[in-house]
């Protein structure tokens, strides 16, 4: 591990942990974020605890995150500050400010009311931090509501941009462009999918998606599959519909979103231009804005889409089961063949098990599959009045 940090990158010294960790705040594929307290000072922070063994081969991501945070920490009130970083024998620790105010959308849903002007204030704070990043040659690449946190539970708390694991420091003199496909699909710009090279404009695209989401409760390219979502993003296939959800949103807000969701990155607004847009400057208070409370619609749409996608995921699982690609996922018990050698997967009890690769989905009969489908169909009918959902093959 230490050799991975030797090529001109930060090399935290291996030392005893100076922090006592507490409750878990979040988790990723190779890390967990925990509340922690400094043993000597008693001050509370958040520690991203990264398992060295699990992250083997991806050390560059951590080196990069440390480099980015060191460059920008303490420089802007809307960016999470890196307090400390070090290694122990098994883990790498990134210690940051403790954001006690929760995630952006959770905070909105807990409010008693929520107006377009509130959305504009949130976007202005986010853009201010993004412009600061861009001025320092950094592109975030994973802007989304889940990575926007509040410093404290108070109403006037700072909004913080967090999670710089996918961020990059751009080499402006060498006209450095990035080509790796990364990010969260619904918030990714067309040029990322095209692999034509991307940079700072991808953050402005993400701001456009976030703004749309903050005004209606669903994302502009929300589709039943990642492929359909990508196809919609590539041609910017979105609209401000249904009209009933957008009637109370100003033309200025919609024009702001359009300027962000411009396919050509060279024609897209820069972060500084977005900060100077009339909707951002005016805080959402425009002549055509009806100052409607958006919260009921946003919560309704968000919950409806979440329930819909859960049902779609269930139907997909059944289809995969029928194809024999996920035997044993549903109600039927996974069968064991006593005539075969134990060279399959290990079950919870330590027994070797076999997954049949043929199309008859061993472990669940056709009758059981039909019964499962019937139950999902009944559930779907009860939730959405018999609406039929498009399924992926």
CA dist 246 and 240 (Å) reads 6
- Report the pLDDT value the prediction gives residue 377, as an integer from 0 to 100: 58
- Report the pLDDT value the prediction gives residue 103, as an integer from 0 to 100: 87
| CB distance 82 to 70 below 8 Å | yes
Q: Classify the phi-psi angles of 386: left when phi > 0, otherwise alpha if psi is within -120 to 50, otherwise beta.
A: left
Single out the residue in 96, 122, 154 at which a domain terminates. 96
CATH code: domain of residue 89: 3.30.200.20
Residue 393 lies in a domain: no
- Report the pLDDT value the prediction gives residue 224, as an integer from 0 to 100: 79
242 preceded by a cis bond (ω within 30 of 0): yes
Identify the CA nearest to 191 among candidates 131, 292, 113, 261. 261
Domain around 219: 104-293
- Report the pLDDT value the prediction gives residue 73, as an integer from 0 to 100: 81
Same domain for 284 and 199, yes or no, is: yes
Residue 277 lies in a domain: yes
Same domain for 109 and 204, yes or no, is: yes
Q: Is the dihedral of CA 260, 262, 264, 268 positive or negative?
A: negative
- Report the pLDDT value the prediction gives residue 3, as an integer from 0 to 100: 39
**Average pLDDT per consecutive 10 residues, the chain (393 residues; last block may be shorter):** 45 68 84 90 91 81 84 87 87 89 86 88 95 93 91 90 83 47 77 86 96 93 88 94 89 96 96 96 62 83 66 63 51 36 34 31 48 56 42 36
Residue 163 lies in a domain: yes
Residue with structure tokens 């296939």? Answer: 237
Q: Find how far residue 55's CA is from the centre of its chain.
A: 20
* Active-site residue (options: 84, 106, 135, 142): 142
CA dist 118 and 51 (Å) reads 39
Same domain for 340 and 218, yes or no, is: no
Same domain for 344 and 200, yes or no, is: no
Residue 6 lies in a domain: yes
Same domain for 141 and 56, yes or no, is: no
Same domain for 250 and 125, yes or no, is: yes
Q: What is the side-by-side order of every strand in the sheet holding 82-87? A: 19-27, 31-38, 44-51, 91-96, 82-87
Same domain for 277 and 363, yes or no, is: no
Instruction: Please give the tally of structural domains in the chain.
Output: 3
Same domain for 184 and 285, yes or no, is: yes
Single out the residue in 67, 96, 125 at which a domain terminates. 96
* 221, two tokens: 């390219």
Active site residue 163: no
Q: Is 48 annotated as a binding residue?
A: yes
- Report the pLDDT value the prediction gives residue 280, as an integer from 0 to 100: 94
Same domain for 164 and 186, yes or no, is: yes
Single out the residue in 269, 293, 317 at which a domain terminates. 293
CB atoms within 10 A of CB 33: 20
Angle between helices 201-216 and 251-260 (to 10 degrees): 150
Residue 117 lies in a domain: yes
Residue 283 lies in a domain: yes
**How far is the CA of 119 from the CAs of 116, 273, 318, 390, in angstroms?**
5, 18, 39, 33
CATH code: domain of residue 168: 1.10.510.10
Same domain for 285 and 306, yes or no, is: no
Put simply, whether the predicted model's pTM sits higher than 0.85 gets the answer no
Instruction: Give alpha helix (H) positions in the chain.
Output: 59-72, 104-110, 116-135, 190-194, 201-216, 226-234, 243-246, 251-260, 271-275, 278-281, 295-322, 366-384
Identify the CA nearest to 336 among candidates 361, 320, 355, 321. 355
Spatial CB neighbours of 139, under 8 Å, sequence gap ≥ 6: 133, 167, 168, 170, 178, 198, 199, 200, 202, 203
Same domain for 217 and 139, yes or no, is: yes
Residue 342 lies in a domain: yes
Residue 389 lies in a domain: no
Element (H, E) at 46: strand 44-51
Same domain for 217 and 322, yes or no, is: no
């Amino acid at each position: 591990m230490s050799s991975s940090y030797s090529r001109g990158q930060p090399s935290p010294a291996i030392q005893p942990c100076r922090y006592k960790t507490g409750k878990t705040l979040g988790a990723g594929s190779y890390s967990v974020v925990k509340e922690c307290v400094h043993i000597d000072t008693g001050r509370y922070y958040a520690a991203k605890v990264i398992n060295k063994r699990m992250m083997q081969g991806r050390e560059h991501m951590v080196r990069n995150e440390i480099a980015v945070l060191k460059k920008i920490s303490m420089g802007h009130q809307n960016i999470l500050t890196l307090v400390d970083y070090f290694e122990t024998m098994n883990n790498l620790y990134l210690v940051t400010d403790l954001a006690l105010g929760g995630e952006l959308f959770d905070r909105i849903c807990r409010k008693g009311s929520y107006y377009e002007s509130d959305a504009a204030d949130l976007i202005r704070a986010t853009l201010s931090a993004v412009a600061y990043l861009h001025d320092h040659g950094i592109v975030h690449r994973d802007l989304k509501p889940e990575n926007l946190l509040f410093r404290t539970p108070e109403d006037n708390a700072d909004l913080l941009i967090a999670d710089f694991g996918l961020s990059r420091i751009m080499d402006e003199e060498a006209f450095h462009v990035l080509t790796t496909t990364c990010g969260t699909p619904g918030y990714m710009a067309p040029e990322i999918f095209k692999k034509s090279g991307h940079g700072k404009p991808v953050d402005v695209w993400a701001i456009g998606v976030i703004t749309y989401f903050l005004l209606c409760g669903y994302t502009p390219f929300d589709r039943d599959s990642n492929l359909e979502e990508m196809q919609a993003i590539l041609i910017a296939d979105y609209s401000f519909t249904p009209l009933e959800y957008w009637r109370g949103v100003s033309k200025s807000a919609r024009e702001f979103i359009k300027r962000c969701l411009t396919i050509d990155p060279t024609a897209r607004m820069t972060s500084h231009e977005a900060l100077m847009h009339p909707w951002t400057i005016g805080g959402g208070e425009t002549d055509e804005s009806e100052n409607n409370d958006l919260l009921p619609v946003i919560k309704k749409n968000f919950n409806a889409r979440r329930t819909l996608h859960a049902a779609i995921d269930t139907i997909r699982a059944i289809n995969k089961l029928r194809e024999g690609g996920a035997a044993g996922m549903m109600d039927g018990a996974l069968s064991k063949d006593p005539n075969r050698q134990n060279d399959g997967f290990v079950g919870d009890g330590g027994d070797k098990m076999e997954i049949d690769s043929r199309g008859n989905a061993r472990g669940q009969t056709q009758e059981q599959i039909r019964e499962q489908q019937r139950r999902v169909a009944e559930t779907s009918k009860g939730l959405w009045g018999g609406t039929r959902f498009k399924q992926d093959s």
